[in-house]
Amino acid sequence: MDHADRNWGCRISDEHTFRGLRTLVMENELLRVTILLDQGADIYEFLYKPLDIDFMWRAPNRVQPPVFRAAGAPPNGFFQDYYHGGWQEIFPSGGVGCTHKGAVLHQHGEVALSAWQCRITEDTPAGIAATVSTQTYRTPFTIEKTLRLESGKAVLFLDEKITNTAAEPMDYMWGHHPAFGAPFLDASCRIDIPATRVAVHPDPVSDNQQLAPGAEFGAFPIVKDKNGAAFDLSRVPAPHARTMEMCYLLGLEEGWYALTNTGRGAGFGMRWDKDIFPVVWLWEVFGGGFGYPWYGRTYNLALEPFTSWPGGMQNTLDKGTAKTLAAGESLETSLLAVAYEGCERVRHIGADGVVKQL
C-alpha cells in the first residue's frame, strides 16, 4: 500500500501543502508532527494525540503564504515578519544581526526562512523517517537533519549534520527555537532543567523586565530581581504578569529540560548533547512586550538549546563563545523531543526519551 494511504501505525507524507507551502506530516499512534518544508523546515505542530495538546505557540503572525510581501526591508531582517511561533532551526547565527566576514547576518541567521529539500528514507508501520536539508546563501554551510518516529513512542528523534563548505574556517551559532503557548502554557507550568547558573541578556529587552540586564547568578531556579527580591525562574506566571525576560541557563549537568503543565500532568521535554549545545536560552513574554512586534498581546515561552551566548553573533565573538568549523569540516549530533503525562515535575530525560518524575 502507498505510504500516503496507510492509516495505522506510523505514517508519513510529503504530499501536503499548508497555505501554499510544501508540508511534511509525520505521525504515529501518539504524535502528529507537521513540518513546513518551504519555511525553515519549521515544526509548526507537535501534537500529543491522547490529550489533544499541541505544545507549539501560535504567534500573532500566521504562516504567510508564498504571495506575501513585507512592507519594507527591516534593518534586522525579515524573521519577525514571517515568525508564526512553532519550532525553528537557528543557524549559522542567532539573535540580533551583524556583519561578519563581509556578510550581513540578520536576526536568527539564514535557514529559518529557507526552503528545504526532503526525501523520505523510511516508511513502515513500525517506523518512519525523512531527511531534510538546505544550504546557506550568504555563508558557506550546508545543514541536514533526519526526523524519525517509532511506533508506540511519543518521541521525535533528530539526527543533524552541519558542514563548512568553504576553504577557510567559519564561525557559527546553532540552536533550536521551540516556543510554547496557550492553551498548554498557563500559570501551572513549571520548568525543570539541571542548570547551575543564570545570566541575564546584557541589553534591556523590555521596560517590563524583572531581571537586571547583565546580572549573573550562581544558582537556578531562584535568582534576584531588580529590587533584590527572590525570583523563581522555574515558575510560569499568568498572562496578566506583564513581564518579559531574556536570559541564559548555564552550567548544565546534563542536556535536557522539561516544561510541565502541572494542572494537566503533561509536558514537553528535550534531550541533547550538552557538549554541542551547552546553554539554553530562556525567552519569556508574559504579556509584557510592548511596541513592535508583540504590542502587549502575547503569552509565550521558549527554551532553546544553543551552542553560544549571549544572543547576537558579534556578542558571541566578543565573549568567546562562538563556535568554529575548519574548512571542509562537519559536525554531527542527535537530540530528541518527547511528550509525556502522569507527572508534575521531572528529574531526568534519558537518551531513549524515557521521562522520570521527581
State yes or no: pLDDT of 1 exceeds 50: no
Is the entire prediction scored with pTM above 0.95? yes
Q: What is the pLDDT of residues 84-115, one digit of tens each?
A: 999 999 999 999 999 999 999 999 999 999 99
Asked whether the predicted pLDDT for residue 295 surpasses 50, the reply is yes
Q: Which residue type, as a one-letter code, is found at position 216?
A: E
- Lookup: cell for 315: 556578542
% of the chain residues with pLDDT over 70: 99
Cell of 88: 525553528
76 vs 47, more confident: 47
Helical residues (DSSP H) of 192-312, grouped into ranges: none
Residue 63 neighbours by CB under 8 Å, 6+ apart: 18, 19, 21, 36, 39, 44, 84
Q: Taking residues 176-191, what's their average pLDDT?
A: 98
The amino acid present at 128, given as its one-letter code, is I
296 three-state secondary structure:
coil
CB 277, CB 193: distance < 8 Å: no
Backbone angles phi, psi at 314, to 5 degrees: -65, -35
DSSP character string of 133-180: EEE-SSSSEEEEEEEEEETT--EEEEEEEEEE-SSS-EEE--EEEEEE
DSSP 64: P
Q: E-strand spans in 194-278?
A: 197-200, 216-217, 222-224, 230-232, 243-250, 256-261, 266-272
- Mean of the per-residue pLDDT values of the chain: 96
pLDDT higher than 50, residue 30: yes
343 compared with 177, residue with greater pLDDT: 177
Residue 91: DSSP 8-state = B
**Which letter does DSSP use for residue 295 in this model?**
T
The reported pLDDT for the residue numbered 73 is 84
Percent of residues, the chain, with pLDDT higher than 90: 95
* 33 pLDDT more than 60: yes
Q: pLDDT band at 74, cuts 50/70/90?
A: confident
344-350: long-range contacts (C-beta < 8 A, 24 or more apart)? 344/190, 344/260, 344/262, 344/265, 345/190, 345/192, 345/258, 345/260, 345/262, 346/192, 346/258, 346/260, 346/267, 346/269, 347/192, 348/254, 348/256, 349/256, 349/257, 349/258, 349/269, 349/270, 349/271, 350/271
Closest C-alpha among 339, 39, 61, 305 to residue 178: 305
Dihedral sign for Cα atoms in the order 232, 235, 238, 243: positive
HSE-CB of 285 using CA atoms within 13 angstroms? 23
Q: Stretch 159-188: mean pLDDT, rounded?
A: 98
Residue 358's pLDDT band, with cuts at 50, 70 and 90, is confident
> pLDDT (tens digit, 9 = 90+) per residue, 319-329?
999 999 999 99
Give the pLDDT confidence score for residue 5 in this predicted structure: 80
